[in-house]
């Protein structure tokens, strides 16, 4: 059965939008149509699919103002909404350029001259995507793009926290022949997400660890594969050789991008004791200069998008202070006309018995801790159940050596979140509870959605 969900505006707290969830029967009907469309989508071949996806880029660009406006309402930030739209177009074009090489058929011989094989890639007919609220557009499409180019149809369930973009985005999709028959969005809540698991052949979930576990359990019960892209509590290690200004810039940028509401944010910082005071002061100076966008949509720090996150931020800060942490900058989650903003915050005297050093905080908070030896730094960085990514700042060769011992799928040396620049070729998978399944990057991002058939041929004597 359907139900109506009221949607909160993160800037003023008002329930000023609503979605009507689809019934199970409506979803079954639409998914049946997607499967029918997939047959033609596969039939037009890779070049036909590339043509359609490039036309999709043009359609998105034609609707850019409406999509950006809806994303801005969804998230309370403008600049990152523009970046999301540009990111979807950029990723689509990049994937179109690399699809042929990634999907090239393989063949070979054996030591037996009469025996050879060829590899056939068979796409899943219908892929399900369940995406989160922090980057509503780009995380709903990052895996859909490769799945579509691989020849799959795709059913997407974005977060009910940020659904406004769906309407203008679907207008762009409907303008593209063939694509409109194989890509559909379903606005809804957890029940809708459960239906996506049930009605598709394989799926990608991006979101929290607890919900990811539920998705995995439901998929496994149906013998389906679920690729899980989950949370992090990512460390940054600053070596003695690091330049303090450079390190401060990387750390602040990595901690407050999208107001800290991203899975690969830098959430804990370990600094060689000889540089601790200098770096603390440089980080504090940069953090104090940041502005909330409560009055100006172009400010540095946007509102807390998901209201439930306010409680987590406050609990983590309170727990840290109660256990002895000292606030250098910020330290409050403030209310402005119904919306909530987390002040960009710097903490010192932190320890690993504090939740802020062990759990995903998802806010613009920078806890800084000193270490005495590189071995201690590695041990601290690895003292976590997560393993999404990490940063090491300092002499390049030494930073790579230290980073190679940190349990994380992505390692940024002297920068932060540089995966986008090499993601057409480089591949990474998560460690620990930060994810499960093959890479979404590089050639493997296409292979997620393929079943591989080995055709083995014996040449008979003439």
Distance CA 262, CA 409 (A): 16
In angstroms, the Cα distances linking 324 to 105, 109, 161, 300, 317 are 59, 66, 35, 29, 11
Q: Distance of CA 101 to CAs 95, 96, 106, 170, 460, Å? A: 10, 10, 11, 30, 32
What are 371's two structure tokens?
A: 């270490």
For the stretch 417-422, contacts whose Cβ atoms lie closer than 8 Å and that sit 24 or more positions apart, written own/partner, are: 417/254, 417/257, 417/264, 417/389, 419/389, 420/87
Residues in the chain: 462
* All domains in the chain, ordered by first residue: 4-230+430-456 (3.40.605.10), 234-422 (3.40.309.10)
pLDDT in tens, 59-70: 999 999 999 999
| Tokens of residue 160, six digits | 């009910």
pLDDT, one tens digit per residue, over 75-125 is 999 999 999 999 999 999 999 999 999 999 899 999 999 999 999 999 999
Q: What is the pLDDT of residue 7?
A: 98
What's the whole-number average pLDDT of the chain?
A: 97
- Give the model's pLDDT for residue 1: 75
Alpha carbon distance 18, 112 (integer Å) = 65
Return the active site residues.
229, 263
Q: In this structure, are residues 260 and 364 in contact, taking their beta carbons and an 8 Å threshold? A: yes
pTM equals 0.96
Contact between residue 119 and residue 453 where contact means Cβ atoms under 8 Å apart: yes
Residue among 263, 334, 264, 337 nearest 301 (CA): 334
Tokens of 51: 């043509």
Give pLDDT tens digits for 401-435. Answer: 999 999 999 999 999 988 888 878 899 999 999 99
Q: How far apart are CA 250 and CA 91, in angstroms?
A: 24
What percent of the chain has pLDDT above 70?
Answer: 100
């Amino acid at each position: 059965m359907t139900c109506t969900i009221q949607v909160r505006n993160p800037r003023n707290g008002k329930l000023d939008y609503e979605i009507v969830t689809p019934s199970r029967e409506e979803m079954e009907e639409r998914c049946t149509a997607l499967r029918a469309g997939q047959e033609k989508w596969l039939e037009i071949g890779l070049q036909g699919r590339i043509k359609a996806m490039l036309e999709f880029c043009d359609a998105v660009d034609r609707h850019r103002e409406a999509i950006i406006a809806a994303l801005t309402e969804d998230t309370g930030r403008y600049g990152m909404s523009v970046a999301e739209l540009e990111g979807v177009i950029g990723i689509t074009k990049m994937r179109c350029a690399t699809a042929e090489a990634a999907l090239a058929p393989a063949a070979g011989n054996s030591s037996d001259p009469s025996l050879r094989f060829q590899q056939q890639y068979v796409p899943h007919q219908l892929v399900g995507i369940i995406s989160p609220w922090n980057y509503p557009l780009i995380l709903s499409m990052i895996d859909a793009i490769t799945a579509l180019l691989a020849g799959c149809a795709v059913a997407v369930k974005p977060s009910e926290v940020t659904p406004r973009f769906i309407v203008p985005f679907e207008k762009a999709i409907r303008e593209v022949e063939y694509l409109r028959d194989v890509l559909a969005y379903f606005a809804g809540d957890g029940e809708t997400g459960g239906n996506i698991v049930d009605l598709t052949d394989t799926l990608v979930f991006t979101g929290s660890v607890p919900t990811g576990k539920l998705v995995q359990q439901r998929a496994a019960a149906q013998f389906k594969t679920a690729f899980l892209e989950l949370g992090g509590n990512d460390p940054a290690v600053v070596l003695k050789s690091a330049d303090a200004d450079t390190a401060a810039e990387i750390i602040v940028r990595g901690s407050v991008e999208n107001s800290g509401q991203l899975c690969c944010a830098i959430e804990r910082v370990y600094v060689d004791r000889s540089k601790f005071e200098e770096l603390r002061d440089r980080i504090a100076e940069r953090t104090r200069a940041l502005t909330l966008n409560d009055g100006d949509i172009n400010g540095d720090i946007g509102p807390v998008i998901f209201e439930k996150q306010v409680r987590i931020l406050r609990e983590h800060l309170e727990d840290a202070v109660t256990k002895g942490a000292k606030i250098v900058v910020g330290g409050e989650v403030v209310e402005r006309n119904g919306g909530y903003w987390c002040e960009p915050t710097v903490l010192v005297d932190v320890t690993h018995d504090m939740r802020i050093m062990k759990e995903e905080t998802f806010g613009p908070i920078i806890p800084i801790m000193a270490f005495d030896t590189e071995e201690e730094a590695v041990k601290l960085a690895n003292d976590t159940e997560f393993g999404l990514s990490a940063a090491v700042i300092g002499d390049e060769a030494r930073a790579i050596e230290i980073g190679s011992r940190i349990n994380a799928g992505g390692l940024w040396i002297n920068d932060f979140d540089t995966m986008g620049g090499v993601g057409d070729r480089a591949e990474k998978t998560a460690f620990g509870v930060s994810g499960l399944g093959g890479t979404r990057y590089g050639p493997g991002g296409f292979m997620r959605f393929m079943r591989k058939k080995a055709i083995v041929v014996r040449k008979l004597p003439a």
